[in-house]
Amino acid sequence: MNRTLVKQALEDNLLAERIRIQGWIRTRRDAKSFSFLELNDGSCLKNLQVVVDAGLPDYRRLPEATTGAAVAVEGRLVESQGKGQSREVVADSLEIVGVADQTYPLQKKGHTQEYLRTIAHLRPRTNLFGSVFRVRSRLAQAVHRFFLGRDFVLIHSPIITANDCEGAGELFQVTTRGTPASPAGSDRNFFGQPTYLTVSGQLSAEAFACALSNVYTFGPTFRAENSNTSRHANEFWMIEPEMAFCDLAGNMDLAESFVKYLIQDIRTHCPQELELFQRFVDRELASRLDFVLGNPFKRLSYAEAVAILQRSGKNFQFPVEYGVNLQSEHERYLTEEHFRQPVTVHDYPRDSKPFYMRTNDDGRTVAAMDVLVPGIGELVGGSQREEREDVLRSQFERHGLDSQKYRWYLELRRYGTVPHSGFGLGFERLVMFVTGLANIRDVIPFARTPGSAEF
Ligand code: 4AD
Ligand code: MG
């Protein structure tokens, strides 16, 4: 008999049919002449209640049907008699697929998120983490639908690269040294030059935008920054659209529509999960998401942002003056206290930004933009790109970069160069924003952070 998922049993037109469901037992309650199993298979938040009559031959297996055990049940799907659930299965067979003994750590509800991180292989079996990862999956697919609907072409940018796109030196080197592929003492670079795990697919995306017009990448990126914060991971996923014939204003417009589209998609398609986050994670989640959907993002220049911060009267740990990088305390003041909404800050001082950003006419700032959101800080970082070969060359000099290594990137400026723009949206930060979870470790299946790669 084919398997029916719990989601299908609860939502599809299957009443009165005989079905087979398979899943893990959340709880068992024994009455005099029958038992109730709460079965969850992760296909949706809800459990399906199974009624096992004491008269069934398989009833003798019931002691093995403990919390955490995997079972397969066949029986008729009926309208539920009891309160609290709409449908239940009246079992006519019960098979124990895999037992779970008394050491199963998810016996009780109410474990802390910190504790659940130590059992990252089991936490998807909880309501909270099952919901987080269903929402993450839905968001990833919404990303593709958004771009498909706008005729963007998906580019698979390389994971192993020779460039440091962001110029921050936070690179993991890729090498065969010390492995059987490279005997001790042999010092040869496998790729003929040092290579690293990519920090960004942007440079590849630029080449393809200057051929296919509107493109995007969506892949893992890696940064060796040793910052153990709730918003940084060493391996995270980034979505990077890149558009030819597009300036900074068009770039900001796309970022805003993109963020709104993704939130709307979850608002429409994951109501049960959102309700759970609202109840157990963040009481203001729904109103915040609705506010974001209903209002234009506030746009202001870096200079205006600095002026607001200086006038705030706040005693920041990092004092604010024109030219400094905005720290997360500053970003949070702007979005959480001053504007209380997403804010797009644009036109940053050139010296604080990577080589590829387009220099503005004032010669001091670049056409950069960051989207900051409440609770997270920076969600999106992007810019218009420097499309003028001579200016780009002088940028390489200013940043102490060897223009020989960027020969192909410079050629994009020699042959049919065009204004073009793009941004990167940190996928985990988006999942945090949509779920209300405060720690990036709780929105990645198995997080990579300094000192931690157990799973
Ligand atoms: O601002 P970033 O460094 O921009 C770039 O990498 C550009 N090349 C993107 C582009 O223009 N194509 O990173 C983009 C976003 C940030 O806004 C943030 O959301 C996320 O990536 N991000 C991180 N997320 C988790 N952990 C980290 N360590 C992150 N570093 C950046
Ligand atoms: Mg940034």
CATH architecture of 6-98: Beta Barrel (2.40)
- Residue whose CA is at the smallest distance from ligand 1 atom 31: 426
Share of the chain above pLDDT 90, in %: 93
User: Which two tokens mark 219?
Assistant: 């892949």
- List of residues 6+ apart from 213 with CB closer than 8 A: 243, 244, 245
88/76 Cα distance (integer angstroms): 8
The domain ranges of the chain are 6-98, 123-442
Residues whose beta carbon lies within 6 Å of some atom of ligand 1: 165-166, 200, 202, 223, 225, 232-233, 236, 238, 240, 378-383, 422-424, 426, 428-429
pLDDT band, residue 186 (cuts 50/70/90): low
Q: What integer pLDDT is reported at residue 168 of this predicted model? A: 87
Q: Matching CATH topology for 6-98 and 123-442? A: no
Q: DSSP letter string over 87-123?
A: EEEEEEEEEEEE---TT-TTSSS---HHHHHTTTTTG
Q: What is the DSSP letter of 338?
A: I
| Model pLDDT for residues 379-404, shown as the tens digit of each residue | 999 999 999 999 999 999 999 999 99
Atom of ligand 1 nearest to the CA of 233: 26
pLDDT band, residue 187 (cuts 50/70/90): low
* Residue of 161, 251, 429 to mutate, ligand 1, most atoms within 8 A of C-beta: 429
CB atoms within 10 A of CB 212: 15
* Residue of 143, 223, 238 to mutate, ligand 1, most atoms within 8 A of C-beta: 238
Both ends of the chain: CA-CA distance in Å? 35
Q: What is the CA radius of gyration of the chain?
A: 26
- List of residues 6+ apart from 426 with CB closer than 8 A: 236, 237, 238, 378, 379, 380
Atom of ligand 1 nearest to the CA of 383: 11
Distance 380 CA to ligand 1 centre (A): 7
275/436 Cα distance (integer angstroms): 11
Alpha-carbon separation of residue 261 from 123, 144, 154, 235, 443 (angstroms)? 29, 11, 18, 25, 20
Atom of ligand 1 nearest to the CA of 376: 19
| Model pLDDT for residues 229-284, shown as the tens digit of each residue | 999 999 999 999 999 999 999 999 999 999 999 999 999 999 999 999 999 999 99
- List of residues 6+ apart from 118 with CB closer than 8 A: none
Distance 392 CA to ligand 2 centre (A): 20
Instruction: Calculate the CA dihedral of residues 441, 444, 446, 451 and round it to 10 degrees.
Output: -40
Distance of CA 416 to the CA centre of its chain: 35
Distance 334 CA to ligand 2 centre (A): 16
User: 123-442, what's its fold?
Assistant: BirA Bifunctional Protein; domain 2 (3.30.930)
Give 238's strand partners. 219, 426
- Residue whose CA is at the smallest distance from ligand 1 atom 1: 381
Distance 424 CA to ligand 1 centre (A): 6
